Amino acid sequence: MKMTTKFERSNRSHSPLSDRSQADNKLADTETIRPRQSPQAISRSADAVYLSESPNQTDEVETVILGDISLELLGGLRRLIVHHRDRRWQQFYDYWLQLAETRGALPSRQAIDPLQMPRGLIPNLFMTEVVYETGNRPRFRFRLLGQEITEQEHTKPGQYVHELGGSQGTAPLETQYLDCLKRRLWLRHTDLSWANRQKSFIRYEVLLLPLARDGRDIDAMIGLAIYQN
């Protein structure tokens, strides 16, 4: 079943941008779309406006319908991907989307095949599994980490997201995982100060995409982390 999309934004409707060529054709006559200003959630870069915490106050939501499942792309995620100068974001999203469209549901962790991915993605990929512990609270455990991630961070396979961060805390990190579990997807833009205060100059972006063995109930996530030293 083919995926259909719909924009919901401030009582106005826009057709989703499905590829870079379509976006380039419409760029000249399309206004720049930005989330509502939120002091704790928004920071600027040369490319666009990024969300560093839960983007609850954005005014652009793209609803993605896949069979009887719906996902929300928050903060103009599709637009950010299309216009980002780093094409790895588009490659990563397109790979996941192709798996989803072929299955007509969320891709499974078993369907991920690194040999079918652009090689430039591999060092920056990671995968987590969803684990339910006491009180049925979801936790997120790293199962796979690309070389670039282990070189930049102290994160190791087998660790949980809530175990990271030390005195800095991991609430901003966990928020993105919890949102992904609720099928709310967005690009996190932050720095490595949570891992080490001396690494605050290393900025990076993270995108999480959901995986499900049965196509519906999310039991894992695949992510891409790109660093800007």
pLDDT tens for each residue of 78-107: 999 999 999 999 999 999 999 999 999 999
> Which pLDDT belongs to residue 56?
52
Residues 6+ apart with CB under 8 A from 57: 35, 36, 38, 41
How confident is the model at residue 165, as a pLDDT?
62
Which is higher by pLDDT, 35 or 174?
A: 174
Q: Rounded distance, CA 54 to CA 74, Å?
A: 9
Q: Can you list the domains of the chain with their CATH numbers? A: 4-228 (3.30.450.20)
Q: What is the pLDDT of residue 21?
A: 41
Give the whole-angstrom CA distance, residue 23 versus residue 139.
37
> pLDDT-derived band of residue 214, with 50, 70 and 90 as boundaries?
very high
pLDDT reported for residue 173? 78
Q: Are 219 and 109 spatial neighbours (Cβ–Cβ below 8 Å)? A: yes
pLDDT at 65 over 60: yes
Q: What is the pLDDT of residues 25-46, one digit of tens each?
A: 332 232 222 333 332 332 323 3
Of 218 and 46, which is predicted with more confidence?
218
